[in-house]
Amino acid sequence: MSLALGVDRSSPVPLYYQLAQQLEAAIERGALTPGSLLGNEIELAARLGLSRPTVRQAIQSLVDKGLLVRRRGVGTQVVHSQVRRPLELSSLYDDLEAAGQRPSSSVLVNTVVPASAEAAAALGVAEGDEVHRVERLRLTHGEPMAYLVNQLPAGLLDLDTGRLEATGLYRLLRSAGITLHSARQSIGARAASAPEAERLGESEGSPLLTMERVTFDDTGRAVEFGTHTYRPSRYSFEFQLLVRS
């Protein structure tokens, strides 16, 4: 079929991005089937009235997403559906978005405290400096799923409980002009201490899944330090990993 691709040159959306979105939508709805060839770039460019580099940029963005594969001498193919499904490591946005989106997440603690040695090291501030500390309990179906502790340098942004529950940490950070860049994460496991078990409705010594994370903005500042514990019967980290070629 002909796919009905076409770009709107009066739109402020970049041409390559428009094309990428249309291709992605076509893949998603099955108009482009797994393994099928996309047709050569020159012809596609001519058909759309675009230059080849622009078409290439669109295709490349989908290759980077893992949706397409290019092979020299063969062409550009749609990857098979089992491969393509999701998504990046969800935990960052998941945890930071949290409140507001999911009614089953509640803010238990929201205060300013002196930084512990651990938090100070993670955030790159001096021990004893003021940091915001937020503790949240995440519930699913009325049962505790995770206990989330986030610490942020004080003065980075307004963090009142109302806005936090309504908007989520991620949007508060964005609206404060902070551009997230990267995060360092560590996922492990350990036996629950008595208070940890109590908080999550487990028994002492039962296994917990743990995640520690430091998030950086694009200036290299640490903007968030999270130490989270999850009930392994109710949560696991699922993600897809693209192989750098």
Q: Which helix (H) or strand (E) holds 210?
A: strand 207-217
Structure tokens at 73: 């001498």
Q: Where are the beta strands (DSSP E) in 47-142?
A: 68-71, 75-78, 105-114, 130-140
Among 189, 193, 198, 201, binds a second copy (CB under 8 A): 189
Q: Which of residues 67-126 bind DNA (CB under 7 A)?
A: 70-76
* Per-residue 3-state assignment (H helix, E strand, C coil) for 124-192: CCCCCCEEEEEEEEEEECCEEEEEEEEEEECCCCCCCHHHHHHHCHHHHHHHCCCCEEEEEEEEEEEEC
50 binds, among DNA, a second copy, none (CB under 5 to 8 A by kind): DNA
- Which one of DNA, a second copy, none interacts with residue 73, CB within 5 to 8 A by kind? DNA
For residues 29 and 24, what is the distance between their CA atoms, to the nearest angstrom?
9
Tell which one of 31, 113, 137, 183 touches a second copy (CB under 8 A): 183
Q: Output the six-digit token pair for 136.
A: 């949240």
Among 10-18, 21-29, 128-136, 203-211, the segment contacting a second copy (CB under 8 A): 203-211
151 interacts with DNA by CB under 7 A: no
Where on the chain is the footprint of DNA (CB under 7 A)? 12, 14-17, 38-43, 49-54, 56-57, 70-76
Where on the chain is the footprint of a second copy (CB under 8 A)? 34-35, 53, 64, 66, 69, 71, 79-83, 85, 88-89, 92, 124, 179-191, 205-209, 216, 218-222, 232, 235-245
